[in-house]
Copies of this chain bind each other. A is one copy, B any other.
């Protein structure tokens, strides 16, 4: 009953095995090894992007900040929703790595998605005279921070707004695979075919120990990205540590299988909630591997006492106060774990009703 985050579960054995294999013998450091070359080529293939620049780092924060620093100037504002991970949970990493760009919010509902209209409103507040921060890149997240998705068409509509103003589009794909299998589209359709310029392609939340790929579809600023990676302390010397993981992750369809498992576990959980009559507690229709619910603190306490682990916002001393709970399933979330949790939930509801 561990639903705290998809970075809390086990790494997948096949990925660990591939990493271990990659780390035998001698090979040049800093990415000049064969495994890294093979992985970069594999990612270009997956994205149908033969010219793309692909560089590996060990965290999603590094991937996001590195790509945004490469796309943005320090006198610009980067556009994101108020719920964006880059705003909420990266402790000013983007401001730091860009050398002082600002983050401008694009209004979003509880589904954490911006729209062309809200993006246009936000852009209108920047730029023009020299006094204003100028419009910089847009960054969106899919799966979003509230468990929803952007369809390729929705991404394309945002990219159109950006492109006509010379602004770039970055996709925080910490849960890229979860979005992809949910949408049933190709990586290319979800990214460059929809106007995305740069992707943080996540591995960590989907069974890798710690690896993310920075992808720039236009490779022109690749050297800048590499220099920024180095000066950010993000160029791993024994680089096979990163590429070995990614090689295992992308072998066969493992990465897609793992995401499908996580999504299925979340769907099972959502179905269970509805079966218990709790459909109304679910905020934003869950589309991948995350579910957000709103229920009383009292219920949260009961579930915690029963051993459930999940993230909660709005912790309160008032047992009737509503809190928002976040449930994240990962590749290893078992049907048993979901069912056990639902059992405890049923008990808690019955106790209340009794």
Contact = CB atoms under 8 A, between A and B. Distances in A.
Interface of A: 2, 4-5, 7-11, 16, 19-20, 23-30, 57-66, 73-77, 87-93, 95-103, 105, 125, 130-134, 204-205, 208-210, 224, 226-238, 240-242, 332
Contacts of A210: 58, 236-238, 241-242
The 8 A-B pairs with the shortest beta carbon distances in the complex, nearest first, are A62-B233, A99-B99, A7-B237, A209-B241, A96-B100, A95-B100, A11-B23, A61-B233
B29 A20 contact: no
A89 B236 CA distance: 13
A197 to B, nearest CB: 20
Contacts of A10: 23-26
A92 B65 contact: no
A134 B227 contact: yes
Q: How many copies does the complex hold?
A: 4
A9 B30 contact: no
A63 B66 CA distance: 18
Contacts of A64: 233
Given A227-B75, A237-B204, A96 B232 contact: yes
Contact of A231 (B7, B91, B224, B229): B91
Given A132-B89, A241-B209, A105 B105 contact: yes
Contact of A91 (B7, B89, B133, B237): B133
Contact of A234 (B25, B26, B59, B208): B59
B130 A238 contact: no
Name, among A4, A16, A96, the residue most crowded by chain B CB atoms within 10 Å (CB to CB): A96
Contact of A8 (B28, B96, B242): B28
Nearest to A210: B241
A232 to B, nearest CB: 7
Contacts of A131: 30, 88-91, 230
Nearest to A333: B26
15 contacts: A4-B29, A8-B26, A8-B28, A10-B25, A61-B233, A62-B234, A74-B99, A75-B230, A76-B92, A89-B132, A90-B233, A93-B230, A93-B233, A130-B235, A205-B237
